Amino acid sequence: MSEHAPAPLVEGITAAIVGARDFGPHLGFFRDRLGYEIAAEGVVPAAVADALWGTGPVDVDAVALAAAGAGTGRIHLVRVPEPIAPAERPHNLDVGLIGIDMYAKDIEIAHERFAEAGIDWSTPPATYGVAVGGDKEVQVTQGVCPAPDGTAVVFVQPAAVRGTAAWEADPGRLYTELTSVVCHVPDADAEIAFWGPDGLGMSVWYDVVFSSPGFDTVAGLPSGTRMRLAFLAGEKTARIEVTSAEGEHRVDRRPHQRPGRTLGHSGWTVRTRDLGAALESVRRTGGGLAGDPVETDDPLHGKAAVASATTPNGVSVTLYEPRG
């Protein structure tokens, strides 16, 4: 960044919002099995929740989960007593939000421990390569594990670990904070522009089109699928993986992926240094706004000004600016 360039409006995806009928199974998965801690719990007041998510005149129960106290890469659990759609894990060719990713210290041991507990991964660990420019290829080893309420958790053991707050605080942890979130969209260019350097300020680490038999296996794709993958990163986790496959898409899940109203991975929470400027960027880059900002003091955002937005591809984003 040049000395005259404006500072990025966001530092990364602060949290993935996960809708839950009952917090118990999610706490059993994320807290008891993966080592996340409850950073805060309580309610999002009815007036705030309704302004953000259209949940009506009731307080919304919420729990913020953090790995090793990390302030980003969190899981925001939101109780959904009457979901607008049944829980169903998205396929990688569905349109909308897909999986949530985190690093595993040793993915083979992780897979074995889940199996010993009677939890089958939908995709066992596999390694594949992604060409990221010229003759450079990134090797990735990952597996997919079903989590409660239709959530898909992707465990990743990369060849080169990119910095994570949880492992910096506690190098002995088996799992990190949330390292990336995934969306599969029809208009990748618009999504990249929304989040990228000329939008909310994240960097495009790479933007490639590739085909890999190993990735086809991990992602459950037809053989020979050509996938566009753009990897956007901020100063802190979580990063964004924007995917777009050539050919026919499957189910469009966007109408039923709304925080506070849908089970599973239903939106993203993003902290901004300047909410007004962030909302102006949303408008300028083709996103939408659900209403005016509101003030809150709740377990997910702390004391903050918050607003609800959608990206050009309909991903639901809760933007917030802390108030001291």
What pLDDT score does 56 carry?
Answer: 96
CA count, 13 A, side-chain hemisphere, 131: 10
Q: Is residue 134 part of a domain?
A: yes
Among 18-22, 25-29, 188-192, 217-221, the minimum mean pLDDT is found in 217-221
- The DSSP bridge partners found for residue 143 are 155
What pLDDT score does 277 carry?
Answer: 98
- The model's pTM is 0.95
- Same domain flag for 106 and 232: yes
Q: Is residue 4 part of a domain?
A: no
Contact 175, 266 (CB under 8 A): no
- Same domain flag for 50 and 177: no
- Same domain flag for 227 and 157: yes
Among 51-55, 133-137, 193-197, 209-213, the minimum mean pLDDT is found in 133-137
pLDDT at 4 over 70: no
Where helices occur in 67-144 by DSSP H, the ranges are 107-116
Predicted confidence band of residue 299 (pLDDT cuts 50, 70, 90):
very high
Question: Above pLDDT 70, what percent of the chain?
Answer: 98
- Same domain flag for 226 and 109: yes
What's the CA gap between 72 and 247, in Å, rounded? Answer: 35
Final residue in a domain of this structure, among 245, 272, 301: 245
**Which is nearest to 213 in space by CA: 194, 227, 232?**
227
Place of tokens 């260019």: 189
**What would the two tokens of residue 108 be?**
């083979």
SS3 assignment, position 1: coil
- Same domain flag for 148 and 282: no
Predicted confidence band of residue 219 (pLDDT cuts 50, 70, 90):
confident
Q: Is residue 31 part of a domain?
A: yes
**Residue 110 to residues 73, 129, 144, 183, Cα–Cα distance (Å):** 20, 21, 11, 25
- Same domain flag for 261 and 286: yes
Q: Which domain holds residue 149?
A: 96-245
Number of neighbours of residue 232 by Cβ within 10 angstroms: 26
**Residue 199 to residues 8, 180, 190, 194, 311, Cα–Cα distance (Å):** 9, 19, 10, 5, 11
Q: Is residue 279 part of a domain?
A: yes
Predicted confidence band of residue 2 (pLDDT cuts 50, 70, 90):
very low
Predicted confidence band of residue 161 (pLDDT cuts 50, 70, 90):
confident
pLDDT at 3 over 70: no
Q: How many structural domains is the chain composed of?
A: 2
